[in-house]
Amino acid sequence: PFAGLDPAQIAEMRALIRRLAGTHTVVLSSHLLAEIRQTCDRLLVMGSGRILADGTEEELQHRLSTEVVIEVIARGDLTSMQSLLAGLEGVRSVAVQGEESGAHRLRVGCEVDVREAIARSLVEAGLGLLGLHRSEHELEGLFLELTRDGSPRGV
């Protein structure tokens, strides 16, 4: 329902869907995964005409043991930043993605969403937190994993 809409219309459409969802079931079918993430609270992943998975994004990731990916942009000592992030509970990996305007961009792979712990740790360590968000490509990886061979994954 978002194709061809300008940004203001997209915001209005999201608001309408959320209002309706309070008292109705709204079924939204789309391959625009970033839009699904921003609009839907429950996912049904279909493949070959069958429901392959059903649940929230977090539930599906947990059941499939897929990684939550958090992108961090911060200023400060890179070695300290990497060490601090790697030591947080639930963090599986920390990879440097690059540097721009004196800020480091890192990709943090986690078992669960640990954005709050990341923010608290970086701020308490005196590092300049400039950006922190879940990767937009997470849902894409989840979809690809679920639809790889078209078989239900028991989720």
pLDDT digits (tens, 9 = 90+) for 87-102: 999 999 999 999 988 8
CB-based contact 122:74 (threshold 8 Å) = yes
Most confident of 115-119, 132-136, 143-147, 150-154: 115-119
**72 pLDDT tier (thresholds 50, 70, 90):** very high
In the chain, pLDDT over 70 holds for what percent of residues? 92
Residue 89 has what pLDDT? 94
Residue 147 has what pLDDT? 80
- Which neighbouring-strand residues pair with 94? 108
Mean of all residue pLDDT scores within the chain: 86
